[in-house]
Amino acid sequence: MPTLHPNEVQQKASPCVMVIFGASGDLTKRKLLPALANLAQEGLLSQQFAIIGFSFDQMTTEAFRDKLTAEMKEFAPSSLNDELWKWFVERIYYVQGDFGDSAAYQRLKDQIIAVEKNHSTQGNRFHYLAVAPKFFSPIVRKLGEAGLTQETNLNWTRVIVEKPFGHDLESAIQLNKELKEILSEKQIYRIDHYLGKETVQNVMVFRFANSIIEPLWNRTYIDHVQITAAETVGVEHRGAFYETAGALRDMVPNHLFQLLTLTAMEPPISFEADAVRDKQAEILHAIQMPTPEEVLQNMVRGQYGEGVIDGQPFPAYRSEPNVAPNSNTETFVALKLKIDNWRWGDVPFYLRTGKRLAKRVTEIAIHFRRAPFMLFRKTPIKDPRTNQLVIHIQPDEGISLRFGAKIPGSVMKLGLVNMDFDYSRDFGTSHSTGYERLLYDCMVGDATLFQRADMVEAGWSVIQPLLDVWKALPARGFPNYPAGSWGPKEVDDLLERDGRAWRDIEAEEFGAKIPAAVS
């Protein structure tokens, strides 16, 4: 088992009240409550803690407690025993109201004051906006009017805003402006749940805690980088939302850019929030803005038709509930980006994400330059591209380094083998929901894993040219990939044109033991 560093004894989160807007929705039962239970179990939640649910549904506090008690039977982590749940239930309250109704915010304020007294939460509050984006700004405005956003020297107020943060560059700028009329930047915690994933946080540790990695991490040794976030699910019950978003908006300026910036950023001078975020922002600013011609050449969009995944048939996107039968919304996108700085000049970053693909997998694959091949010229070995470092984000969690080795025998034959680090084997299985660290960080005032206004805007700036070109030239020929494939054909052409190919994820599964001969 790994050894913990002595400094890693964590402090408890500050006393506080958490107000969940949209508390009757999915996020509360699936992620927030289970994550809070895990934090309590680890001893990281203050005893002086309480939750107030706020939403439109008619319910009393008792009914809300009963609802959550029933839901936790399905969604609770194994750490939630009866005793712990009893402790939780006693500190859960409910306020019913319309997000636009000032009177409801007065009721909320009265409840907060009562709860603060009951649970000695010391006046610290954080509001979690688990609501549709159109409510972000109105809720913050109403909170401000009700005097629920003020801070003093003795207590804090923070607001967690879910994604999507804006719909394009202009709306993101506008939303930032509206929020900052009421809140200061340091009160705003823009969440991206990818940053709650252990494997994503580990990218920084892996790069900066190991002296063997950093010297290789640049254009001298790296040929290109592939970032994949493939899903087998379709749009599920979110057709209406997805029709207005599409794969580009839904996944790229947020989740994929987190993976990209953590992979590409310069070492920060500390793990302080702004030190890290400055370095991430630098990368976003260094991405070359694609011209309209480059958008057409280097960016691929797709939409799934019907198909089969793991033997099960699935309908086309256009037949999903709440999707227009002639929809042109993309469910797949692949892009080639260039980061124009000294570390990465001329190293392409290929990104791809899509729904209803062949396999659920998120990974960052670093492809190193090939070694000089002269020595092997007279052997049956044909392909000199051997070295890949793959950071497996999900569902497998770990890192593997692929290299060439001689296959035993009297002829010189090259096999590809992996050195693997496997999170669950080496650290034990984690029951984390991915929200623990983010909620905890908000309670201790650490914004490192949250998005700053300028980062959100820089992310949108990069994809705005795509949004513009795609709007002007609606896709033709959708659907263009069957469910269960790896996307449209053009996505392979994108790399082939550069003399490269996508990593064959299915053939090179994490932990595969049999060396694949390349000769």
Q: How far is CA 104 from CA 55, 118, 372, 377, in A?
A: 10, 21, 70, 77
Residue 485 near residue 209, CB atoms below 8 Å: no
Helical (H) or strand (E) element with 148: none
Largest CA distance in the chain: 84
Least Å distance between CB 393 and ligand BG6? 8
Which of 142, 193 has the CB closer to ligand BG6? 193
User: What span, in angstroms and rounded, lies between the C-alpha atoms of 91 and 120?
Assistant: 11
What sign has the CA pseudo-torsion 436, 439, 440, 441?
Answer: positive
Least Å distance between CB 435 and ligand BG6? 11
Least Å distance between CB 250 and ligand BG6? 5
**Cis before residue 479, ω within 30 degrees of 0?**
yes
Which of 50, 390 has the CB closer to ligand BG6? 390
Question: Where in 395-414 is the site for ligand BG6 (CB under 6 A)?
Answer: none
Residue 295 near residue 475, CB atoms below 8 Å: no
Least Å distance between CB 193 and ligand BG6? 6
Question: Where in 156-185 is the site for ligand BG6 (CB under 6 A)?
Answer: 163
Which of 329, 362 has the CB closer to ligand BG6? 362
Residue closest to ligand BG6 (Cβ)? 250
Which of 208, 241 has the CB closer to ligand BG6? 241
Residue 40 near residue 443, CB atoms below 8 Å: no
* 237 annotated active-site: no
Least Å distance between CB 434 and ligand BG6? 7
Which of 255, 452 has the CB closer to ligand BG6? 255
Question: Where in 137-156 is the site for ligand BG6 (CB under 6 A)?
Answer: none
The amino acid occupying position 112 is: I
Helical (H) or strand (E) element with 405: strand 398-406
Question: Where in 327-366 is the site for ligand BG6 (CB under 6 A)?
Answer: 362
Could you say which of 223, 250, 294, 363 contacts ligand BG6 (CB under 6 A)? 250
For 47, phi then psi, to 5°, come to: -65, -25
Which of 137, 258 has the CB closer to ligand BG6? 258
282 binds ligand BG6 (CB under 6 A): no
Could you say which of 57, 178, 198, 231 contacts ligand BG6 (CB under 6 A)? 231
**Cis before residue 325, ω within 30 degrees of 0?**
no
Q: What angle do CA 294, 298, 301 make, to 5 degrees?
A: 115
HSE-up of residue 506 (Cα within 13 Å, Cβ side) = 9
What sign has the CA pseudo-torsion 376, 377, 381, 383?
Answer: positive
The active-site residue out of 255, 285, 392, 431 is 255
Least Å distance between CB 28 and ligand BG6? 17
Which of 96, 202 has the CB closer to ligand BG6? 202
Least Å distance between CB 47 and ligand BG6? 31
Tell me the number of residues near ligand BG6 by CB under 6 A: 5
Contacts of 323 (CB under 8 A, 6+ apart): 235, 239, 242, 243, 317, 329
Q: Which two tokens stand for residue 322?
A: 């709440």
For 363, phi then psi, to 5°, come to: -160, 160
Catalytic residues: 255
**Interaction site with ligand BG6 (CB under 6 A):** 163, 193, 231, 250, 362
